[in-house]
Structure 1
Amino acid sequence: MARPSGTYAMLAIDQREGLRAMMAPHQDGPVTDADLTHFKLEVIEALTPYASAVLIDRELAWQQALDAKAVDPSCALIAAADVLIPSADELVAQVEIDHEVVPAKVKAQGAVALKLLVLWRPGEAAEPRIAMVEEFVAICRQAGLASVVEPVARAPRDGSGWDREAAIIEAAKELGDRGQDLYKCEIPYYGAGPEAQVRQGCAALSRHVNGDWVVLSSGVKQDDFPRAVEWACREGASGFLAGRGIWSGTIGKPDLRRALREDAVPRLETLCNVLDKVSA
């Protein structure tokens, strides 16, 4: 999954209902599964020549991307192995391991890793989260695949107040040393606070995560993301596994391929340059 320098410049295109919600304001009528698949395949074809790995979901794009030979041969494959369960007020309210993703099968198709999203909520028991992560890591090890664990902090279900920044760190304390090969996490303060504050949060993550960790871009403004990646890497992160921070600006553009070429590709190249600068 890593580049020759040991850094990770990885593309995420495993969004499901979240992507549907992002696309909905830009078109008349409902966003169909076919619309989502089309967008994903265009993103994969345009951006994987510049990425060290790409994360793809089973439901909408895994087999389609393989059949279309959309993934550049230089780009490693990561399969999303999570079922995202909605509720009345959340697109993702609960997550389970997706046992329809068969490790041996996706490995034979070229996958080098599986990814699991984990929702971390204040006040909820740690044991079910820990058990799911440990089961997932064991599945990956047995199959000879790397494990990517992605804890995301969420508000309590009862709507009570909470501290997102503290939750990110608590999640790392709880899940950052469970045998995973790569830990994917949120950037403290969405990368928008003062540099010292953001870097302090990233340094705390480094203290609690055993092994390599990378950042995601959800919630971070596109133009802030490269700077946030640099700050995170200067405090111990090894790169990024991101989608929205790279391709979200192309959604709804009349010429998607041109938008990917002229907007998303330069953003990904800029991020790669950031990694090269930090690792030099």
Structure 2
Amino acid sequence: MLRQLEDGLSCLQRPSGAFAMLAIDQRETLRTMLSEATNGPVSDSELVEFKRQALTALSPLASAVLVDQDYGWRAALTRGAVSTNCGLVCAYDRFTASDRELVANVEIDDRVDPSTLRRQGAKALKLLVIWRPDEPAGRRIAMVEDFVRRCRAAGLISIIEPVSRPSIDGSIADRQDGIINAAREMGDRGQDLYKAEVPLFGRGDDRHVGAQCAQLTRHISSPWVILSSGVLPERFPEVLELACKEGASGFLAGRAIWKPSIYAHDITNSLKTDAVDRLNAYAKSPTRQSLRRQVGRELWMINPLYCPSLQPQRFRLAVRICLLCARTLALRD
């Protein structure tokens, strides 16, 4: 079946065109976090309940939410859990653990039927891809291309999430080169959206981090967004700004938004207040950058150098109209 995406990526975007997406697809890593916070075991039902609470509190502000099939999808389909103006994204990946890693290997989750998910309300699917320096690229590339084909056949947006990991034998532990190499390898595989780790995990100086983000833009042919894992929470707003200035279109983040609430005395209240404030604050940066790009494109089109017949007075009026439209979009966001 030919892919039919009538609204392109807009179902995952804010009116400005920016992506301000919430990720709550963590599985055993989330169980570990909750267990550390409560000093006790965490049941499947407790995982589902946390996800439901996070979705209810945060989806009204998010342009889209990413959930997993095992624990999040049921919560997302609960009446009232996800805001009607928030796009639904489902993880299409299945993880295998090892002695050293909770997520050591990833494959496409064949338990999931994309067409069924679409009928249930999904707008997109996401695939995590582990990049290691000592594993052959062929398997990764084949899996990504298979994933993209399946999404197209089901009429769903495809989101890939390459993440850099150490070599299997542990001899190469530097993950920074892997972030760029993964983008070089998988940035032009037909995906609709690319979810990237922050270069240097935000730990370099601003100029260096920005330069690395610019490299991602050169290697990735689709729009791309950043994730928050590995970035210090207090640093995330700054690196988000840097990434958006260098070509990113927003974020698909989880830990930076809801993780601090796990350790709060009242988790439910913290999700409704503190986490909401964080999501609101993070959304401002990609919105500003998106509006600047829109205004820049419009001004380019009406530049007197390219429209000699446009009088200076009319040019100034057109500029004012563009700025007014930008302000209107910002208010809608």
TM-score normalised to the size of structure 2?
0.82
The alignment partner of 1:79 has SS state of strand
User: How many percent of aligned residue pairs carry the same amino acid?
Assistant: 52
The alignment partner of 2:59 has SS state of helix
Q: Identify which of 97, 105, 123 aligns with 2:108.
A: 97
Q: Which residue of 1 aligns with 2:22?
A: 11
Q: Identify which of 87, 91, 104 aligns with 1:80.
A: 91
Q: Which residue of 1 aligns with 2:3?
A: none
Q: Identify which of 266, 278, 289 aligns with 1:278.
A: 289
Q: Is 1:206 equivalent to 2:212 in the alignment?
A: no
The alignment partner of 1:271 has SS state of helix
Q: Structure 2 CA distance, aligned partners of 1:201 and 1:52?
A: 26
Q: Which residue of 2 aligns with 1:179?
A: 190
Find the structure with the greater CA-based Rg.
Answer: 2
The alignment partner of 1:149 has SS state of strand
Matched residue pairs, number? 280
The answer to whether the Cα contact below 8 Å between 1:122 and 1:162 also exists between their aligned partners in 2 is: no
Q: Structure 1 CA distance, aligned partners of 2:267 and 2:244?
A: 31
The answer to whether the Cα contact below 8 Å between 2:129 and 2:140 also exists between their aligned partners in 1 is: yes
The amino acid across from 1:160 in the alignment is: S
The alignment partner of 2:127 has SS state of strand
- More displaced 10-residue stretch of structure 1: 235-244 or 256-265: 256-265
The answer to whether the Cα contact below 8 Å between 1:152 and 1:168 also exists between their aligned partners in 2 is: yes
Q: Which runs of 5+ in 1 are unaligned?
A: none
CA shift, 1:193, in A, is: 1.3
Q: Identify which of 155, 168, 171 aligns with 2:166.
A: 155
The amino acid across from 1:52 in the alignment is: S
Q: Structure 2 CA distance, aligned partners of 1:121 and 1:179?
A: 21
The answer to whether the Cα contact below 8 Å between 1:184 and 1:213 also exists between their aligned partners in 2 is: yes
- More displaced 10-residue stretch of structure 1: 260-269 or 130-139: 260-269
The alignment partner of 2:20 has SS state of strand
Q: Structure 2 CA distance, aligned partners of 1:69 and 1:261?
A: 15
The answer to whether the Cα contact below 8 Å between 2:225 and 2:250 also exists between their aligned partners in 1 is: yes
1:58-117 Cα distance to aligned partner (Å, 9 max, x none) = 101202320243000010000100001111111000001011221111101111100000
CA shift, 1:279, in A, is: 2.5
CA shift, 1:223, in A, is: 1.4
Q: Structure 2 CA distance, aligned partners of 1:13 and 1:90?
A: 19
Q: Structure 1 CA distance, aligned partners of 2:37 and 2:49?
A: 15
CA shift, 1:278, in A, is: 2.1
The alignment partner of 1:204 has SS state of helix
Q: Is 1:220 equivalent to 2:231 in the alignment?
A: yes
- More displaced 10-residue stretch of structure 1: 268-277 or 113-122: 268-277
The alignment partner of 1:35 has SS state of helix
Q: Is 1:109 equivalent to 2:142 in the alignment?
A: no
Q: Which residue of 2 aligns with 1:139?
A: 150
Q: Is 1:250 equivalent to 2:261 in the alignment?
A: yes
The amino acid across from 2:65 in the alignment is: V
Q: Which runs of 5+ in 2 are unaligned?
A: 1-11, 292-333
Q: Structure 2 CA distance, aligned partners of 1:160 and 1:29?
A: 35
CA shift, 1:195, in A, is: 0.4
CA shift, 1:236, in A, is: 0.4
TM-align CA RMSD: 1.0
The amino acid across from 1:186 in the alignment is: E
Distance 1:7-1:53 versus aligned 2 partners, 3 A rule: same
- More displaced 10-residue stretch of structure 1: 81-90 or 58-67: 58-67
The amino acid across from 1:268 in the alignment is: L
The answer to whether the Cα contact below 8 Å between 1:45 and 1:71 also exists between their aligned partners in 2 is: yes
Q: Which residue of 2 aligns with 1:46?
A: 57
Q: Is 1:120 equivalent to 2:131 in the alignment?
A: yes
Q: Which residue of 2 aligns with 1:231?
A: 242
Q: Identify which of 188, 191, 195 aligns with 2:199.
A: 188
The answer to whether the Cα contact below 8 Å between 2:134 and 2:168 also exists between their aligned partners in 1 is: no
Q: Structure 2 CA distance, aligned partners of 1:68 and 1:61?
A: 13
CA shift, 1:208, in A, is: 0.3
The answer to whether the Cα contact below 8 Å between 2:93 and 2:126 also exists between their aligned partners in 1 is: yes
The amino acid across from 2:290 in the alignment is: S
The answer to whether the Cα contact below 8 Å between 1:52 and 1:74 also exists between their aligned partners in 2 is: yes
